[in-house]
């Protein structure tokens, strides 16, 4: 198995089309193969700041009195689609923009998280895929002698967020 990754020319930019207050329900699927799920209200507020290339990136779960995360999205290298989500407490999460999808991958408390925000016409599709950091299995290609590690996905969270008038 050989993977070819082409990255030239696939980057876009965070621009005014992302600006707005986006609202929807975050659906949380906790066990693969079951109907176990829950949902909570979610909002994403993207607004300009007084500084060039920095956006307010505010995530609200349930309501602002319970879980209100006031982050910044900092542009690091617009041409190459490199951004950072600044949690304003010392945590900086690298993010990359591929066309209209902002993607971040990081490890926290023995979980590997893949987070994406996809701007799709009238909505933003927000998704979190969580897996264990430690591989659950490893296999080896006999032909190419390439080791492949597999990771158990422990949950998927998805929200379709629509621009609020």
Model confidence at 9: pLDDT above 80: no
pLDDT in tens, 33-77: 667 689 999 999 999 999 999 999 999 999 888 899 999 999 999
26 with 59: CB under 8 angstroms? no
Nearest-CA neighbor of 18 among 165, 159, 124?
124
86 with 71: CB under 8 angstroms? yes
State residue 3's pLDDT score: 45
State residue 143's pLDDT score: 87
93 with 102: CB under 8 angstroms? no
71 with 65: CB under 8 angstroms? no
3-state secondary structure (DSSP) of residue 49: coil
Q: 136: pLDDT confidence band, cut at 50, 70 and 90?
A: very high
pLDDT in tens, 86-117: 999 999 999 999 999 999 999 999 999 999 99
């Amino acid at each position: 198995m050989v993977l070819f990754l082409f990255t030239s020319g696939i980057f876009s930019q965070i621009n005014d089309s992302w600006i707005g207050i986006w609202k929807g329900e975050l659906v949380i699927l906790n066990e693969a193969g079951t109907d176990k799920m829950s949902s909570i209200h979610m909002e994403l507020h993207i607004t300009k700041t007084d500084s060039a290339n920095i956006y307010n990136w505010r995530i609200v779960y349930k309501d602002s009195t319970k879980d209100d995360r006031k982050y910044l999205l900092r542009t690091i290298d617009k041409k190459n689609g490199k951004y950072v989500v600044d949690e304003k407490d010392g945590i900086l999460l690298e993010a990359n923009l591929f066309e209209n999808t902002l993607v971040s991958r990081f490890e926290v408390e023995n979980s590997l998280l893949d987070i994406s925000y996809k701007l799709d016409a009238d909505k933003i599709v927000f998704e979190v895929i969580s897996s264990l950091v430690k591989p659950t299995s490893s296999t080896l290609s006999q032909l190419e002698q390439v080791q492949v590690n597999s990771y158990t996905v422990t949950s998927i969270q998805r929200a379709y967020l629509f621009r609020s008038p």
